[in-house]
């Protein structure tokens, strides 16, 4: 039974290091704990730190973050689908065929697969956080669950599962969070179309009813022609 108020004192020597040194120390700790599991890292000076780990070290990395680096606060866990959307931004007329690049290019700390699962945790004592990513193999979309590390991962993994179709091994109750039971498809994947845009592309292709007194619809970018718009007044660049 947990006590009513636990006292936590982390007398870790990391507490004295400022900013970037703190982040570098975190990356070094992870490397020494995970070894080859830590694939890549990126520290943006004065800003933030990203690391990418192998999927086999995903759960262990969470434990290291929680125990050794003092990251007691669980922020969120989700996934990114790096495939560019075949539908663009839903602004094209339905009969026009547009060639779009299908190249999958990942972001910070690279990656090899289409899906990446990522999480963020923070330390309430040292006042910094870390974003951790892992590749999810395309043929076997299963990720070990983070529930043993942070209890809050329960709901985040449920949402990630229903939105991306990524399974979480060891999750006690992987049912849909937002969508009705038996919903087919995984909405956040890029190849799942946004139905509203399929039905009616936006904007400019559709007929815009003219205002009374106007002489015709304008399907141009109205903001570009409006001299009062703040973006026009601020000057060109």
Contact residues toward another protein (CB under 8 A) are: 1-6, 8, 47-48, 50, 72-76, 78, 80-81, 84-85, 89-91, 105, 107-108, 118, 120, 124, 127, 129, 131, 150-152, 154-156, 163, 176-179, 187-188, 194, 197, 202, 224, 229-232, 234-237
Residue 123: closest CA among 32, 50, 51, 26: 26
State in angstroms the smallest separation of the CB of 44 from another protein: 9
Q: Whose Cβ is closer to another protein: residue 35's or residue 202's?
A: 202
Q: Whose Cβ is closer to another protein: residue 193's or residue 215's?
A: 193
Q: How far, CA to CA in Å, does 119 sit from each of 4, 36, 60?
A: 29, 20, 13
Number of H helices, E strands in the chain: 6, 7
The 8-class DSSP code of residue 34 comes to H
State in angstroms the smallest separation of the CB of 152 from another protein: 4
Q: Whose Cβ is closer to another protein: residue 181's or residue 213's?
A: 181
Residue 71: closest CA among 139, 25, 123, 9: 123
Three-state SS for 62? helix
Q: Whose Cβ is closer to another protein: residue 36's or residue 191's?
A: 191
State in angstroms the smallest separation of the CB of 215 from another protein: 26
State in angstroms the smallest separation of the CB of 208 from another protein: 17
Token pair of 189 as six digits: 């994947």
Range list of H helices, 35-174: 58-67, 153-164
Q: Whose Cβ is closer to another protein: residue 194's or residue 206's?
A: 194
């Amino acid at each position: 039974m947990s006590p009513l108020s636990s006292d936590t004192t982390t007398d870790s020597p990391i507490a004295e290091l400022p900013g970037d040194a703190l982040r570098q120390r975190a990356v070094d700790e992870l490397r020494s704990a995970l070894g080859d599991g830590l694939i890549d890292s990126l520290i943006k000076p004065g800003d933030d730190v990203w690391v990418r780990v192998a999927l086999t070290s995903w759960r262990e990395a969470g434990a290291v973050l929680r125990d050794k680096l003092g990251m007691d606060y669980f922020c969120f866990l989700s996934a990114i689908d790096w495939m560019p959307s075949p539908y663009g931004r839903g602004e094209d007329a339905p009969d026009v065929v547009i060639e779009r690049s299908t190249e999958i290019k990942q972001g910070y700390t690279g990656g090899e697969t289409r899906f990446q699962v990522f999480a963020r945790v923070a330390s309430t004592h040292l006042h910094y956080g870390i974003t951790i990513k892992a590749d999810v193999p395309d043929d076997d979309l299963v990720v070990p669950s983070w529930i043993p590390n942070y209890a809050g991962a329960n709901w985040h993994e449920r949402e990630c599962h229903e939105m991306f179709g990524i399974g979480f091994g060891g999750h006690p109750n992987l049912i849909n969070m937002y969508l009705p039971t038996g919903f087919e498809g995984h909405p956040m994947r890029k190849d799942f179309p946004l139905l509203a845009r399929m039905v009616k592309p936006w904007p400019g292709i559709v007929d815009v009813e003219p205002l009374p007194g106007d002489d015709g619809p304008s399907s141009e970018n109205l903001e570009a022609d409006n001299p009062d718009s703040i973006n026009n007044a601020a000057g060109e660049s």
